[in-house]
Structure 1
Amino acid sequence: MTNSDPLPRLATEGERLGWIFSDRNLYRRRFTEPPPQPLPVPPELRERLERAERTTTKRILVSIGVGVLLAVLIGCCGGVAARGDDGSGRALVFLFAGLAFVAGIAGAVIAALMPGWARKAVEAAQQKAQDEYAREHAAWDSRRQWHDQQQQQAVDARPEWSAAAPSPGTRRVDIIGGTMYGWEAVLTVFGGSLLATRGRMVLADFTGEALSGELIRLAETTNRSVRELVLPEQLAEFDLVAGLSPAELVDGLVEAMYGDAPEGNRAERSQDALLLTEISTILEPRLTMARLLAALHVLAERPASPELTPSEREQLLTLRTEAARVRRIEAFLHPMEAMGSAVSSTEIADLTCLVAGGEGGQAQNELLKDLTVQWLGRQVRRAEPPIGSLVLLGADEIHHRALERLSTLCERRGIRLVLFFAHLRADSLRTIGGGEVALMRLGNHQEAQQAAEFVGRGHKFVLSRLTRSLGGEETHTLADTVGESESKGGERGSRFVGRHLRRFSSTNWSKTRNWSQTESTAQGTNWSDASSAERVYEYTVEPRVLQDLPEYAMVLVKNEGTGSVVQAVEVDPAIVTLPRVSMTPLPAEPVPDAVAPAPRSLPSSPTVGWGAISDPPRQREPGRSSHE
């Protein structure tokens, strides 16, 4: 039984952001050979016909007149000459006179027949020209049909959807704008190709929407290992600071507590770092978040924790600390107390998803976000086996300096970095441009205007339209009917019976009641998976256009060295189910100058004629007879 799930098709090797629609009928070449023209009738034949028709009467009269005149002349002259001769001379004269008359009549008959003969000559020439034209047109039509079929086969062999891939050598892709559904589609298409091409992937979702569900199902369908952690709900199963040296742990915690805020007090940071370094030195080598918080409890003169040994408690009490400082650090780190306390598995998965959940307060989530970004940086530097791609959803929440550090690390190690920004704000504008930029729907007009300025107005792109339908219908009716009727009537009167008058009266009464229940159920389900792709309007990069982009469309801006190249990319995962879809990028081909209109539908099976012949019909050489 074949697997009809299209998700595994998305895990085909080769990076794909989506697909670019190309109207294959634009590459259909027109048959440029002109059709043959019928040969005209030779003009001398028509001139002869016109002359014969014009002079017929005159020729008849002249022939008859000449014949009669000759006959009379011969008769008169011969009679005078043969006056003294015997009868044989006169007979000879009459014979010649009769021959002259007959010759005149014969000339008249010939003159009357000449238009018919000329007409037949013209008709014969016309028939010959028509036969020659029919043969030449049939040969031309055969060549045209062969050309059309070859073009149809070439067009049918062309993909209609070509993969849109990042430029070679580009390590970073910034995706700006879009909806959650659009991001989920990009994750499924682009993420599936990254898993198949680059191997191990780490994904961090800071949106709180858990958009990686379909990508996880794709990975599981293709027999790839998956590890999904929702933070802070599953914080006990994941240790963000595992394997760090005391100095690295202190640097990470201080950076997470203060961040990159310019108003941060350097003296306060240094004192916090010194205190945490002293505590970490006492607690090593068993340095965990729970033991660090237990040490802070000791310094705050709280009940001792079993996490610490008596020797460690004594050393901690020798430290000279400020209660306010200890309390502040404890308040920052307290939400992380359960981190790594119930780690169940340390196996490396093909797909690791860290998802920001909806639980926890803002302070805890901010600290978790900063620690997660630091953990991602360590994964880029140290992970074995190395990761192939790193995806961050909701990169707006991360400081641009941290993003720049991550970008530099990924660039040096050849790791694909994909950043999703929900908005195009000041921090995003300072961050984007380190790689290729893809713009999705931007709801804010100011952001759309900045995006249009970033791309450069005037660029044009073309989008297709997909139509898919799914429908169903169910009808259930129940009817209860109760009816009751009552009638009462009577009659009074009198009538004669014999000779007596009798009076009579009658009364009738009736009551009827009916009850009925009807129940009908009709269920009809119609399902159609009708996919149609067609070329629609050509768009120009303008703010309003970027605000009205379809949910599954993006404008990819690529730097090809000579300038920006704008491509319209469609990211709907359902495209993979359509025919003529290429999973690899195709080289751009110029559209031929001669473009034919939409073709006629050709039969699917070969028919008798040029359709079953691979070689074109030969064009008859001029001057050669078709009967040779």
Structure 2
Amino acid sequence: MTVAPHEIPFVLLATTGERMGWIYTDRQLYRRRFTEPPPQLEPVSPDLYELLERSAARKKKRRRNAIQAGLALAFLIYCLGMIQAPDTGGRKEIDPSFVTLAQLALVAGVVGAILAGLGPHLARRAITVAETGNLAAHAAAEEAWKQRRDDHERQQQATLDAMNEWSAATPSPGDRRIDIIGGTTYGWEAVLTVHGGSLLVTRGPMTLVDFTGDTVCEELIQLATATRRSVRRLRLPTELAEFDLLAGLTPGELVDCLVEAMHGDAQGAGRADRSQDALVLREIVTALDGRITLTRLLAALRVLTDRPDPDGLTPQESERLLDLQPDENRRRLYTQMRRIEAFLHPLETMGSRAEGGAGTADLTCLIADGEGGDAQNDLFKDLLVQWLTRLVRRDSQPMGSLVLLGADEVHHRAIERLSTLCERHGVRLVLFFSHLRAEALHTIGGGEVAFMRLGNHHEAGQAAEYIGKGHKFVLSQLTRTLGGNDTHTMADTSGQSRAEGGSGGMSYGKRGRGRSYGKNWSRTRTWSQTLSTARSTNWNDASSVQRVHEYTVEPRVLQELPEYAMVLVKEQNQETVVQAVEVDPAIVMLPRVSMQPAGPMPLPDPEEAVVPAPAQPFDRSPVIRSGRPQ
């Protein structure tokens, strides 16, 4: 086996078509059995066996009859010969012809007896010939059956060899965003390599913002480099001087961006402060000439708070600022301007060494390394999100996809605005959330959702609730009853009777007197015995099922997902489809891997399937159909 160079796997991932990963298809589920039954040996005709039985039964009788008939005929001929023979001197000479005829009769009887014994032999021979013919026909039929079976197996194997074991898992067509919830650093890195590589090839320039600071985009950068795409990587705020978030913004956009970054989505009393800050900044921007930078804004704020910076602004600009804000107003707004300065001061060096705007490369990676203070990092993140919103809104710099790692740090209102703009401008937005809570709970559902490993049981339960529940029938009760009865009855009956009687009398007549006497006696005895037995056995085995409403994916499954696995929930054909997806980039080097989604291929019927499948997959991929998320 030839080992591929290191760059080849990255090149293989750079194939047109968006893909989240791959779905495994067990090819053996599509193997069909050879359903034709093997040929059966044809039995010998029962008529031949009946003929053999009849011949064997009549054999002795026919022999006896043949011999007796031969002897009787020979004796008859001999007697006729004796009758016809002339008397010569008291001695009759029988005609030799009669002797010959008698002998022939005897021979005929013997021959008849022999032929009578040949009947069973001929019947057996006919049975043997029939059996031999049936065996030969069965062997030929079995050979043809084996040939058809082998052809079927070769055809099935060729069909399975042509199938892919790994097919691409793709999001729904369109520009809806993708939310990826949970997972580990290595899992995110794998998703970025696989999905990010497909986005680069399919949609063009990508902007990636990493709020985690773990540099999980290293493999994606290697992929872009291997495919000869330009890459710009900045670690912020460490390299903040080389990156200007305000480049290309109009004064009005700049003020709005700074105010939104400072106040975020504050409600209530925060609205007044936001309006005042916006008014002050607009007045300052109006008084300045030339390019607006944070350094010049901070210099203007210092002038208004009586701390002039001679190198920051020109004398004319300083005079205009002082004329714009009289002493009384400056004293009243001192606290407010110092607060604005405190917000902007950590970003004072931003863009001081920048040569141009961001987003000019095929892949732009902005990595928040967390080296600055908390205030600086929070302001920078908010400012970066606002910059992204305006970057998407402006069509001067084309963007195919936008990826945010660690979107937990971004307010859900900002995410919703950014998502709406991306969908409107045809930009694929991909959000990575470390946890399913707070902002993620308010945000997910605007597009495709993929769940990776969720260690927390509460988050896993929330994810299972989002995926939804489905109805199914489960065994709820099993009843087994064994019973019987056995009855024996015995009865004896006996009886006896006795009767005696007698009679007597006298009679007179002419001849004298007579006397008669009689006596009778009888005795009867009866005896009977009755025995009855009754036995019965009954067996009852019953089961019942009930309809239950259970999770489509159990929370425990989400807690135990492998590092390179995800559960993708997407809308397809007006229903929610749940797919198990593998995101390991090394899968691209396996045989039978397709970079495109698999087409529909129905499973064989259970009677034909070699390996019965628990359910009918959709698009040749193991999926679970469910109702819409609860």
Q: TM-score, normalised by structure 1?
A: 0.78
2:87 matched to 1:74? Answer: no
The one-letter code matched in structure 2 to 1:58 is: K
Asked whether the equivalents of residues 26 and 595 of structure 1 are also in contact (C-alpha less than 8 Å), the reply is: no
* Equivalent position to 1:331, from 330, 342, 346: 342
> How far apart, CA to CA, are the structure 1 residues paired with 2:73 and 2:116?
18
> How far apart, CA to CA, are the structure 1 residues paired with 2:391 and 2:254?
15
2:34 matched to 1:22? Answer: no
Structure 1 match to 2:444:
432
2:562 matched to 1:550? Answer: yes
- Quote the offset at 1:223 in angstroms: 0.6
2:591 matched to 1:597? Answer: no
Structure 1 match to 2:618:
none
Matches within 5 A, 1:97-176: 97-176=102-181
Structure 1 match to 2:353:
342
2:316 matched to 1:311? Answer: yes
Asked whether the equivalents of residues 442 and 448 of structure 1 are also in contact (C-alpha less than 8 Å), the reply is: yes
- Quote the offset at 1:64 in angstroms: 2.5
> How far apart, CA to CA, are the structure 2 residues paired with 1:42 and 1:268?
108
Structure 2 match to 1:463:
none
> How far apart, CA to CA, are the structure 2 residues paired with 1:576 and 1:407?
31
> How far apart, CA to CA, are the structure 1 residues paired with 2:70 and 2:558?
101
Larger CA Rg, structure 1 vs 2: 2
Deviations 1:308-335 (A, max 9, x none): 2222233334434233223222211111
2:247 matched to 1:242? Answer: yes
Matched positions, count: 521
The one-letter code matched in structure 2 to 1:587 is: G
Aligned to 2:286, what secondary structure does the other structure show?
helix
The one-letter code matched in structure 2 to 1:177 is: G
2:67 matched to 1:64? Answer: yes
* Equivalent position to 1:293, from 275, 291, 298: 298
Q: Which one is further off, 350-359 or 75-84?
A: 75-84
- Quote the offset at 1:83 in angstroms: 5.2
- Quote the offset at 1:195 in angstroms: 0.6
Asked whether the equivalents of residues 177 and 422 of structure 1 are also in contact (C-alpha less than 8 Å), the reply is: yes
The one-letter code matched in structure 1 to 2:346 is: P
Aligned to 1:89, what secondary structure does the other structure show?
coil
2:593 matched to 1:581? Answer: yes
Asked whether the equivalents of residues 241 and 375 of structure 1 are also in contact (C-alpha less than 8 Å), the reply is: yes
Structure 2 match to 1:373:
385
* Equivalent position to 2:457, from 445, 448, 451: 445
- Quote the offset at 1:274 in angstroms: 2.2
> How far apart, CA to CA, are the structure 1 residues paired with 2:202 and 2:269?
43
The one-letter code matched in structure 2 to 1:580 is: R
> How far apart, CA to CA, are the structure 1 residues paired with 2:341 and 2:570?
48
- Quote the offset at 1:540 in angstroms: 4.3
Aligned to 1:6, what secondary structure does the other structure show?
helix
Structure 2 match to 1:413:
425
Show structure 1 runs of 4+ deviating over 6 A: 85-88
* Equivalent position to 1:390, from 374, 381, 402: 402
Matches within 5 A, 1:466-477: none
Deviations 1:215-237 (A, max 9, x none): 11111111111111111111011
Structure 1 match to 2:546:
none
Asked whether the equivalents of residues 246 and 284 of structure 1 are also in contact (C-alpha less than 8 Å), the reply is: no
Deviations 1:31-82 (A, max 9, x none): 3333333322222222112222233233333323332333334334423432
> How far apart, CA to CA, are the structure 2 residues paired with 1:324 and 1:562?
56
> How far apart, CA to CA, are the structure 2 residues paired with 1:264 and 1:40?
101
The one-letter code matched in structure 1 to 2:173 is: P
> How far apart, CA to CA, are the structure 1 residues paired with 2:409 and 2:131?
87
Asked whether the equivalents of residues 236 and 343 of structure 1 are also in contact (C-alpha less than 8 Å), the reply is: yes
Asked whether the equivalents of residues 82 and 92 of structure 2 are also in contact (C-alpha less than 8 Å), the reply is: no
- Quote the offset at 1:383 in angstroms: 4.5
Asked whether the equivalents of residues 173 and 419 of structure 1 are also in contact (C-alpha less than 8 Å), the reply is: yes
> How far apart, CA to CA, are the structure 2 residues paired with 1:363 and 1:459?
50
- Quote the offset at 1:155 in angstroms: 1.6
Asked whether the equivalents of residues 175 and 427 of structure 2 are also in contact (C-alpha less than 8 Å), the reply is: no
Aligned to 2:469, what secondary structure does the other structure show?
coil
> How far apart, CA to CA, are the structure 2 residues paired with 1:459 and 1:306?
73
Asked whether the equivalents of residues 15 and 197 of structure 1 are also in contact (C-alpha less than 8 Å), the reply is: yes
2:25 matched to 1:13? Answer: no
Aligned to 1:380, what secondary structure does the other structure show?
helix
> How far apart, CA to CA, are the structure 2 residues paired with 1:283 and 1:42?
116
> How far apart, CA to CA, are the structure 1 residues paired with 2:155 and 2:47?
45
Q: Which one is further off, 550-559 or 223-232?
A: 550-559
Alignment gaps of 5+ in structure 2: 473-550, 613-630
The one-letter code matched in structure 2 to 1:39 is: E
Asked whether the equivalents of residues 86 and 92 of structure 2 are also in contact (C-alpha less than 8 Å), the reply is: no
2:49 matched to 1:46? Answer: yes
> How far apart, CA to CA, are the structure 1 residues paired with 2:186 and 2:412?
25
Structure 1 match to 2:285:
280
Q: Which one is further off, 65-74 or 127-136?
A: 65-74
Alignment gaps of 5+ in structure 1: 461-538, 600-628
Asked whether the equivalents of residues 467 and 552 of structure 2 are also in contact (C-alpha less than 8 Å), the reply is: no
The one-letter code matched in structure 1 to 2:610 is: P
Q: Which one is further off, 173-182 or 185-194?
A: 173-182
> How far apart, CA to CA, are the structure 2 residues paired with 1:385 and 1:290?
25
- Quote the offset at 1:264 in angstroms: 4.8
The one-letter code matched in structure 1 to 2:13 is: L
> How far apart, CA to CA, are the structure 2 residues paired with 1:408 and 1:437?
16
Structure 2 match to 1:456:
468
> How far apart, CA to CA, are the structure 2 residues paired with 1:146 and 1:62?
63
Deviations 1:524-557 (A, max 9, x none): xxxxxxxxxxxxxxx9412112222222222221
Q: Which one is further off, 549-558 or 185-194?
A: 549-558
The one-letter code matched in structure 2 to 1:284 is: D
> How far apart, CA to CA, are the structure 2 residues paired with 1:13 and 1:398?
31
Q: Which one is further off, 57-66 or 405-414?
A: 57-66
Structure 1 match to 2:234:
229
Structure 1 match to 2:206:
201
> How far apart, CA to CA, are the structure 1 residues paired with 2:334 and 2:400?
46
> How far apart, CA to CA, are the structure 1 residues paired with 2:146 and 2:165?
29
Structure 2 match to 1:484:
none
Deviations 1:199-222 (A, max 9, x none): 111111111211111111111111
1:264 to 1:549, Cα distance in 2 relative to 1, 3 A: farther
Deviations 1:582-604 (A, max 9, x none): 111123322121444269xxxxx
Aligned to 1:458, what secondary structure does the other structure show?
strand
Structure 1 match to 2:216:
211
2:374 matched to 1:362? Answer: yes
Aligned to 1:207, what secondary structure does the other structure show?
coil
When the two chains are superposed, the root-mean-square deviation of aligned CA atoms in Å is 2.3
The one-letter code matched in structure 2 to 1:178 is: G
